[in-house]
Each structure stands twice: as structure tokens, then as C-alpha cells.
């Protein structure tokens, strides 16, 4: 029996049934039951993605790991918070920027959108830039040929600065 086979067993749980179909709502779930309960809720939800807010980044990462066991890794995304405060003169980590961008890009394509997005509360209250959804990723695969001039122009339009050498 796979873990995903447990999801239908929770289908008639009164607390889940009562929250389905509402535009917003909250439900308190003990930590050991969170992944199966949220997976069941996502399975029955008519609107996707379902956004789950948790207090900390560590809890968000744990929940993403647990949900992936029930729903599969492609249906679960972590929307991380910036590690820096707005007034600090330090840039956020590149992997954090990339993970946040990937979630936003996936939301633009319904067939690629995740079923559930898990985010620490701090990520949910942080503002997004005004044009964050307009930038498409640049994808260059092995064996692809890219025009360097066009690539440079595109990167500059994204806000990158051209430098002579990067170390």
C-alpha cells in the first residue's frame, strides 16, 4: 500500500468537509497528522493551488517533505521567505530567489501549477515586486545554441549588470 492510498480514507472527515468550498478558512491539525490531512484536503479541493502557511521555515521544509510522500514532489512547492530584511544592504541568497521565482512561474501555467504551496508566514507577508510575474525564465539546455548578444540584452533587461569578469 502506498501512502497516497491513505488519502481517500479521510474523504468524509467532518472537519475537512466543513472547510471545502469556502474561499478561505482555517483548521488546526496536530503535527503528526498534517501531511495526510492537507493531502486529503488538496485531493478534494476544487480550487488549486492550496496555500498552507506555517510559523517557520523549518516547519515549512518538513511539511513539504512529508506532503511530497503523499502527493508526489511535482505537486508540492516551498515558497521560502527572504532571509534579509528590506533595509539591509545584503542581497538574498540566489537559491531563495530562484525557488521563489520558480513557484511564481509555475502559477502562470495551469498545467504546471503545484497542487499545494507551503510557505512560512514571513514569506506570505513579504511584498512581491511590481513586475515579478512578467519575467519568463531563460532556459538553455545541453546542446542548445544561444545568441550571446540576445542573451546579454535579455539579462540586462532583467536587471543584471554586465561585468568584464566574474570570479
* pLDDT interval class at 47 (50, 70, 90): confident
Q: Is 33 helix (H, G, I), strand (E, B) or coil?
A: helix
Single out the residue of 116, 114, 93, 108 nearest to residue 35, CA to CA.
116
Question: What are the tens digits of pLDDT across the range 90-124?
Answer: 777 788 888 888 898 888 888 889 999 999 999 99
Query: Between 29 and 69, where is the model more confident?
Result: 69
User: Are 138 and 105 contacting, i.e. CB atoms less than 8 angstroms apart?
Assistant: no
Instruction: For the full predicted model, state whether its pTM sits above 0.85.
Output: no
> What pLDDT does 133 receive?
63
Cell numbers standing for residue 80: 521560502
Task: Tell me which CATH code domain 3-137 carries.
Answer: 3.40.50.11180
Average pLDDT of the chain?
Answer: 83
With pLDDT > 70 as the criterion, what percentage of the chain qualifies?
A: 90
Alpha-carbon span 103 to 79, nearest angstrom: 7
Query: Between 39 and 88, where is the model more confident?
Result: 39
Orientation of helix 34-44 relative to helix 57-71, angle to 10° = 60
How many angstroms separate the Cα of 78 from the Cα of each of 15, 59, 110, 143? Answer: 25, 11, 17, 31
Amino acid at each position: 500500500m502506498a501512502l497516497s492510498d491513505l488519502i481517500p480514507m479521510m474523504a468524509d472527515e467532518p472537519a475537512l468537509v466543513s472547510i471545502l468550498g469556502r474561499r478561505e478558512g482555517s483548521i488546526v491539525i496536530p503535527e503528526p497528522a498534517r501531511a495526510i490531512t492537507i493531502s486529503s484536503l488538496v485531493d478534494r479541493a476544487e480550487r488549486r493551488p492550496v496555500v498552507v502557511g506555517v510559523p517557520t521555515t523549518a516547519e515549512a521544509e518538513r511539511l513539504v517533505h512529508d506532503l511530497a510522500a503523499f502527493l508526489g514532489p511535482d505537486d508540492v512547492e516551498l515558497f521560502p521567505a527572504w532571509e534579509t530584511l528590506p533595509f539591509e544592504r545584503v542581497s538574498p541568497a540566489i537559491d531563495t530567489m530562484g525557488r521563489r521565482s520558480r513557484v511564481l512561474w509555475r502559477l502562470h501555467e495551469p498545467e504546471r501549477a503545484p497542487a499545494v504551496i507551503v510557505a512560512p508566514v514571513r514569506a506570505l507577508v513579504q511584498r512581491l515586486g511590481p513586475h515579478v510575474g512578467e519575467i519568463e525564465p531563460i532556459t538553455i539546455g545541453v546542446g542548445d545554441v544561444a545568441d550571446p548578444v540576445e542573451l546579454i540584452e535579455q539579462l540586462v533587461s532583467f536587471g543584471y549588470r554586465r561585468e568584464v569578469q566574474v570570479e
